[in-house]
Amino acid sequence: MFDDKVPIIEVNRYNFETYSLLLKYSIKNADIIAIDLELSGIGTTNGLRGRPFQERYERIRETVQTRSILSIGISIFKLYKCIEEKKTIKLRNISFNLMTMSNDNYIVEPDALAFLSKHGFDFNRLINSAILYSTKSRTGPLPNLLKDILSSGASLVFHNGFVDLAFLYHHLFNEIPESVGVFQSNLYDWFTTEGIDLDAVGGRGLFYDSKFTAASDQYSSTFLEYVFRKSQRSNVMEYRDNRLYVRVKFSKDYGSDEVNPVDIDYIDCSMSPHFLKNNFAINEESRDSLCPFYEKHGFCRKSDCEKVHEVDLMLDIECQKSIKKRRRKNGDPQPPAKKTRGLPKAVTKKLESSDIENDGAEEESEQLGFHEKTHFSTKGCHRAGMDAFMTGFFVIFSQRMHLFKYQTLDAAFSNQTLVPGLEKPLPLVNSSYAPSTEKHREIWAECQKNKIKNLNFKSGIVTI
């Protein structure tokens, strides 16, 4: 992914009909769908340290029943080419941000309000144009859209997804059960591929958690912006060093469905100039300016924190430390020369343009060792759409070797999610002691038929 900007299409109550066919078509043909939610609150688990997970689940369930989904980000990836000689995986992407709101009474937490406001969320736009839904009926466009996604046969990717799954389940599918074991069994139905040729299906139709993936890859931090920006850099390095890399093209031809330019927001993803120039002469003042809490968690609890909260500074400092460590180890100021293909044209063109515009200022900055800020930001009403894209891209990059060889994600990393309070990942398994509920099975039956049909088609399985 070398483009500077990621296009996000806003979908609201006024244009949903306009984009419904495009959404359906994109979902039906997807190989990987990443999802992210913005919520009116996530509750609290204070006082539950060391308590059984069922108690923590009950707190999550209470939160789910009393808060609203404020936006749903859906980022859809279609694998269309793997090129052996160029060591390239090519995918097409289209990303949506659906503005949503419960028609029932719900709680808005002050912390959530402050967080969303800080990130540029437009509450007036939400109130005026959100797609409404109700947990009293669970009918209409949003529940139907969720069923389309679940039955698409695509791999479904979330970041730290247990709470998001709980919200989607209760708000758009069925009443969330009292027992965590029953809920696990219900989710297992969503993401099982039993009864189908597993070798042919591979990782299709399964659940993936990017936070679990990042932990498995031993990332020093696992918050979303960090793992995305790190994988974005690593992808450029893979390209430069003639190794397997990921190329994402954003859909420009939407067929007969015209997208109004007013509905598209472009999120700036241009990379750090320090990284692109391979110049990490960052002074001590810049290094010390980074907020340690943000560095670990990806957010800061202090409303008046004077430290810097910038993921690119984190990564540039990591690069600086890595270079110093390599030089001490090798006793050589420069790494050995090797054949490379340089930076991608889209990147060098942007870099040259930036150099011309800011030549004097950047030269002074480099001499003094100040850190140059990037324009990367996920602020605004389309945050969930961009977060969904980042989630999908990271998992695709992490699993690029398996994706290149088998054209699916690796099932070995599926159906597990990290949950605070648990030392080990929570598996989405079926339990004979806590079977799925009858109402759940009744709703799921039609979705299951469609999912099997789509899985067989996408896996090339001929049915008689």
Read off the amino acid at residue 318: E
Query: Pairing mode, if any, of strands 88-102 and 69-83?
Result: antiparallel
Under a CB-based contact definition with an 8 Å cutoff, are residues 23 and 96 in contact?
yes
Q: Residue 374: inside a domain, yes or no?
A: no
Q: Which of 238, 228, 227, 236 has its CA nearest to residue 347?
A: 236
The verdict on 190 and 281 lying in the same domain is no
Q: Residue 356: inside a domain, yes or no?
A: yes
Q: Which of 368, 402, 432 is the last residue of a domain?
A: 368
pLDDT band at 440 (very low <50, low <70, confident <90, very high): very high
Q: Residue 228: inside a domain, yes or no?
A: yes
Q: How far is CA 93 from the centre of its chain?
A: 13
Q: Which of 145, 153, 142 has its CA nearest to residue 32?
A: 153
Q: Is the dihedral of CA 126, 132, 136, 142 positive or negative?
A: negative
The verdict on 208 and 321 lying in the same domain is no
How many domains, the chain?
Answer: 2
SS3 (DSSP) at 287: helix
Q: Residue 464: inside a domain, yes or no?
A: no
Query: Pairing mode, if any, of strands 264-268 and 245-250?
Result: unpaired
Residue 411 DSSP one-character state:
G
Measured CA to CA in angstroms, residue 103 lies from 16, 58, 87, 106, 131 at distances of 17, 23, 49, 9, 9
The verdict on 226 and 341 lying in the same domain is no
Please tell me the predicted confidence (pLDDT) of residue 365: 44
Which distant-in-sequence residues (6+ apart) come within 8 Å of 183 by Cβ? 57, 166, 169, 176, 177
pLDDT digits (tens, 9 = 90+) for 114-164: 888 877 788 899 999 999 999 999 999 999 999 999 999 999 999 999 999
The verdict on 27 and 104 lying in the same domain is yes
pLDDT digits (tens, 9 = 90+) for 339-362: 566 666 666 666 666 555 555 544
The verdict on 181 and 292 lying in the same domain is no
Which of the pair, 263 or 196, is modelled with greater confidence?
Answer: 263
Q: Which of 341, 368, 395 is the last residue of a domain?
A: 368
pLDDT digits (tens, 9 = 90+) for 174-196: 999 999 999 999 999 999 877 78
The verdict on 187 and 316 lying in the same domain is no
Residue 259 DSSP one-character state:
P
Return d(Cα 391, Cα 417) in angstroms, integer. Answer: 14
The verdict on 278 and 242 lying in the same domain is no
pLDDT value at 66 more than 60: yes
The strand pairing partners of 267, in sequence order, are 6
Q: Which of 63, 73, 8, 13 has its CA nearest to residue 40?
A: 63
pLDDT value at 398 more than 60: yes
Which distant-in-sequence residues (6+ apart) come within 8 Å of 197 by Cβ? 459, 461
Return d(Cα 400, Cα 18) in angstroms, integer. Answer: 34
Rounded-to-10 torsion of CA 414, 422, 296, 327:
-60
Q: Which of 190, 198, 251, 228 has its CA nearest to residue 374?
A: 228
Q: Which of 368, 395, 419 is the last residue of a domain?
A: 368
Return d(Cα 166, Cα 365) in angstroms, integer. Answer: 47
Under a CB-based contact definition with an 8 Å cutoff, are residues 207 and 367 in contact?
no
What DSSP letter does each residue of 155-189 carry, written as one string? EEEESSTHHHHHHHHHHHTSPPPS-HHHHHHHHHH
- 229: domain CATH number is 3.30.420.10
The strand pairing partners of 101, in sequence order, are 132
pLDDT band at 239 (very low <50, low <70, confident <90, very high): very high
Which distant-in-sequence residues (6+ apart) come within 8 Å of 137 by Cβ? none
Which domain does 90 fall in, by range? 5-269+379-459
* pTM score of the predicted model: 0.90
